[in-house]
Amino acid sequence: MKIKNRTLGFSAIQTFFWMCYAAILGFASMYLLEAGFDNSQVGILIAAAGLLSALLQPVVAAYADRPDSMPLGRLVQLSGTVTLVCGVGLVLTRGSRLVTGLLYGGCMVLLQLTTPLINALGIATVNSGEKMNFGIARGLGSLGYAVAAYLIGLLAQRFGAVTVPVCMVLGFGLMVLSVAGYGAVKKPNTEEKKASGGGFLRKYPRYAAVLAGLVLIFVSHVVLNSFTYQIVEFKGGGSGEMGTAMAFASVIELPIMFLFGWMLKKARSHVWFRISGVFFFLKCLGTLLCRDIPGFYAVQLLQMFGWALMTVSAVFYINAIVAPEDSVKGQACFTVSLTLGNVVGAMIAGRILDKMGVQAMLVFGTVSALIGAVIVLVFSQRTTV
């Protein structure tokens, strides 16, 4: 029997999801500032959404890993549909800061809940024996992010911040349709098991230490990505330059993602995972040291071996170090580290930005990334894949 190739279908899901990611998190500060929030309030809202998401993700993951749970595709559709409704609410209820904060915060929570579910859907497809090139699909997701970031940047200059929720609604509508067309994925034939020693993190102590390092790395990530607008203004640009930089960084990700299957033949996933942590530090340091918009554009080249490499290598690294019955929980913990990084980074960075300015915020992000990269280098374990 011929094995169906799922790459095209999963690529569509990744593309539309990351277009939504660009709209919701990439332009969060710009949208919320125009809605009347100040930098500290933006940081608090991003942090609150991240904290709530971090609390909910283990619960959702534990449910998704159960043999009798709703299929992963259905969970992704449900999350995407609710986010779409929140986006419609943002378009229709402009003017109230309270309503805006609740709806936009809800979109950020749901977006972060959906991320590990989509990764788990891809890994479940691979583990089921069906053909699917995760790297190509994730690379097309970055291309979608690039296109969305560039277009939203241009459209926001002309039509204002309402562009953000409009694009969000369109993106999630297309993503939900793509998931519906993807079809069911077989679950592995494993019995539900309880983690020994009283919990998932006790079962995988070295992974727990790695997650602590990732939180610090992702603090620098939120500094660069949630406060991009303020950084670009400090370097001499505006929303157009912001969109261009975001698009360029996303396009730069493509070679790594498209070639990652070949890269795994040259070195195992833990090697690439460790390298990616170092490049998060280098990107934040480069952003701190560059003086103008051309320099800021040049620093985006480091995205290739930072976020791009982390995104694909982490999925394979986690799949290699956790048992099949812990698959979704393992992917969710990675996303929890990202959201906790968002919480810590957004709260502290927003405050530093208001009190001491952009350069002080970038120093904070650079130091955090350095410590996190060292922890990942020390505690990440060797894999066979």
Residue 243's nearest CA partner among 131, 375, 146 is 146
Backbone CA torsion sign across 31, 140, 312, 121: positive
Residue 161: DSSP 8-state: T
Q: 306: buried, middle or exposed (CB in 10 Å: 19+, 13-18, 0-12)?
A: buried
Please name every residue paired with 5 in a beta bridge, in sequence order, or none if there are none. 131
- Phi, psi dihedral angles at 297 (to 5 degrees): -60, -45
More confident of the two residues 1 and 136: 136
3-class SS of residue 131: strand
Residue 46's nearest CA partner among 213, 228, 173 is 228
Judged against a pLDDT cut of 80, whether residue 375 lies above it is answered with yes
pLDDT tens digits, 279-308: 999 999 999 999 999 999 999 999 889 988
Question: Average model confidence (pLDDT) for the chain?
Answer: 86
Yes or no: say if 374 and 217 are a contact pair by the CB < 8 Å rule. no
74: number of Cβ within 10 Å = 14
- Model pLDDT, residue 249: 83
- Our CA dihedral for 359, 364, 370, 373, rounded to 10 degrees, sits at -120
359-364 long-range contacts (CB < 8 A, ≥24 apart) are 359/234, 359/288, 361/223, 361/227, 362/223, 362/231, 362/284, 362/287, 362/288, 363/288, 364/219, 364/223
Yes or no: say if 287 and 231 are a contact pair by the CB < 8 Å rule. yes
pTM, 2 dp: 0.76
Q: State mean pLDDT over 81-103.
A: 89
E strand residue ranges, the chain: none
pLDDT tens digits, 193-233: 444 434 788 889 999 999 999 999 999 998 998 788 889 99
pLDDT tens digits, 310-356: 988 998 899 899 888 787 788 888 988 987 887 888 778 888 988 89
- Model pLDDT, residue 217: 96
Residue 124's nearest CA partner among 39, 13, 275, 253 is 13
More confident of the two residues 187 and 169: 169
- Our CA dihedral for 340, 342, 346, 348, rounded to 10 degrees, sits at 40
Judged against a pLDDT cut of 60, whether residue 190 lies above it is answered with no
CA 113 from centre of chain:
10
Q: State mean pLDDT over 184-195.
A: 56
pLDDT tens digits, 14-27: 999 999 998 998 88
- Model pLDDT, residue 310: 93
Q: Which residues contact 159 (CB under 8 A, 6 or more apart)?
A: none
Q: Which residues contact 198 (CB under 8 A, 6 or more apart)?
A: none
Yes or no: say if 185 and 64 are a contact pair by the CB < 8 Å rule. no
pLDDT tens digits, 118-152: 888 888 887 777 888 888 898 888 888 888 888 88
Rg (CA), the chain: 19
CATH domain 7-186+200-379 topology: Growth Hormone; Chain: A; (1.20.1250)
CA distance 209 to 111: 25
The pLDDT confidence band at residue 188, using thresholds 50, 70 and 90, is: low
CA distance 230 to 223: 10
Q: Which residues contact 312 (CB under 8 A, 6 or more apart)?
A: 134, 135, 138, 256, 257, 260, 272
Q: How far is CA 248 from CA 15, 24, 141, 219, 296, in A?
A: 16, 18, 14, 22, 11
